[in-house]
Amino acid sequence: MNSRGPTHDDISEYANKLWRQAKDNCEREMPPQFYWEEAQSSMVPQAALALASETGTIFVPTPDKEWPFSYKKGNTPIFFGAITGSIFSIKHRGSTKSFELCNIDDFDSMLHELLKFIQNREICVHIRWMIRRDMPEVMQIENESFEFPWLEEDFVRCLRQRNCIGMVAEHDELVVGFMIYELHKDRLHVLNFAVGKQWRRRGVGTTMINKLIGKLSCQRRSKLLLEVRETNLDALMFFKNNGFIAISILKDFYDDSPEDAYLMQRKYAGEAAVLC
Ligand SMILES: CC(C)(COP(=O)(O)OP(=O)(O)OC[C@H]1O[C@@H](n2cnc3c(N)ncnc32)[C@H](O)[C@@H]1OP(=O)(O)O)[C@@H](O)C(=O)NCCC(=O)NCCS
């Protein structure tokens, strides 16, 4: 193998070696077909390139110590293989989709399918004010999201406050997420925030949080604050990935459990902030 990676001959030799081994085990009737293109080659299927740019993948198929080689995103293999009979799988937003490559001519169409899978995962939501009629769907999301859920009367009591606002994320006329926040003079404080289980890792939470971030300004409410239970790793990851930082630990914050909370903050970061 040269320093730029394996050559066509390297892969060919390796594939045939594998086939000979497999044949010895009587597992295959036919020699495997294999696919190999160098990253820069104009023959790299368009879908593979689109897939690579979509996922931020560095499109460099590198043979690992073991077959099959992998296309990597950082150190995470995104999909594997290029030999018939091998399984290609792509991981995206916590889900995995797999294909068995039976015929090498299907390689390009398989990549198209993988690309479609990625593009379809992000769903488009409309954020609007919460209304009374949303309560059953909101309660369902609340109950499946938290060990110590709010009761319906907690929502009602909270939303009666003049400075308290409820919003829902709607997709295809279904409520897929909601948030409750308070308006203060200098900040927005999120009291409750959840996305329905089946809709997670599809960008809904990010769309909701971006809606709130869009309400910040340097003159007025310049930060977004919220508490996260120390054991709620999903939420900690989510808020961290949306630019929040933990600014303090609130000891024994909850009545219902002995957990601490992290107070997390996202500051206004628009261009005008430079002038503030
Ligand atoms: C936290 C929560 C709101 C996230 O909503 P979501 O719609 O799934 O979030 P998104 O799809 O916008 O995720 C954006 C990014 O956040 C991170 N993230 C979200 N959930 C994650 C998880 N479970 N593990 C690791 N990272 C996660 C990822 O980086 C994700 O991007 P990726 O999917 O491309 O990797 C949702 O998991 C939820 O409702 N949890 C239960 C209720 C809750 O804990 N609310 C917060 C109370 S403070």
Residues 267 and 161 in one domain: yes
Return the CATH number at 223. 3.40.630.30
Domain boundary, last residue among 89, 119, 149: 119
Residues 153 and 217 in one domain: yes
- The two three-digit tokens of residue 21, written as one number: 């081994």
Residues 93 and 228 in one domain: no
Residues 67 and 114 in one domain: yes
Ligand 1 mutation target, pool 181, 233, 238, most atoms within 8 A of CB: 238
Name 226's bridge partners.
190, 264
> Whats the size of the chain, residue-wise?
276
pLDDT band at 218 (very low <50, low <70, confident <90, very high): confident
Q: What is the pLDDT of residue 201?
A: 85
C-alpha span between 56 and 219 (Å, rounded)? 36
Query: Which residue do the tokens 């926040």 mark?
Result: 181
Residues 86 and 222 in one domain: no
In a domain, 178, yes or no: yes
Number of domains composing the chain: 2
Atom of ligand 1 nearest to the CA of 141: 39
In what order do the strands lie in the sheet containing 245-250? 126-129, 164-171, 174-183, 187-195, 223-229, 261-267, 245-250
- The 8-class DSSP code of residue 216 comes to -
By the 8 A CB rule, do 165 and 183 touch?
Answer: yes
C-alpha span between 15 and 68 (Å, rounded)? 9
Residues 170 and 76 in one domain: no
Closest by Cα among 52, 88, 95, 54 to 70: 88
Residues 19 and 153 in one domain: no
Q: What is the pLDDT of residue 61?
A: 36
By the 8 A CB rule, do 107 and 82 touch?
Answer: yes
The answer, yes or no, to whether residue 138 has pLDDT greater than 80, is yes
3-state SS assignment for residue 184? coil
Q: What is the pLDDT of residues 184-208, one digit of tens each?
A: 999 999 999 999 998 998 889 999 9
Within 6 Å (CB) of ligand 1, which residues are found?
Answer: 93-94, 145, 193-195, 200-206, 226, 228, 232, 234-235, 237-238, 241
- Between 231 and 45, the higher pLDDT residue: 231
Q: What is the pLDDT of residues 95-123, one digit of tens each?
A: 677 777 677 677 667 766 766 676 667 78
Residues 135 and 231 in one domain: yes
Residue 71 Cα, ligand 1 centroid: separation in angstroms? 26
- Between 271 and 229, the higher pLDDT residue: 229
Q: What is the pLDDT of residues 141-185, one digit of tens each?
A: 999 999 999 999 999 999 999 999 999 999 999 999 999 999 999
Name 83's bridge partners.
34
Domain boundary, last residue among 66, 93, 119: 119
Among left, alpha and beta (phi > 0; psi -120 to 50; other), residue 94 is left
Domain boundary, last residue among 119, 150, 172: 119
In a domain, 220, yes or no: yes
What lies within 8 Å, CB to CB, of 160 at 6+ separation is: none
Q: What is the pLDDT of residues 240-258, one digit of tens each?
A: 999 999 999 999 999 989 9
Query: Which residue do the tokens 């009979």 mark?
Result: 85
Residues 208 and 258 in one domain: yes
Residue 267 Cα, ligand 1 centroid: separation in angstroms? 19
pTM greater than 0.75:
no
Question: Percentage of the chain surpassing pLDDT 90?
Answer: 47
Q: Domain of 69?
A: 8-119
Average pLDDT over residues 41-64: 43
Residues 267 and 141 in one domain: yes
Residues 45 and 92 in one domain: yes
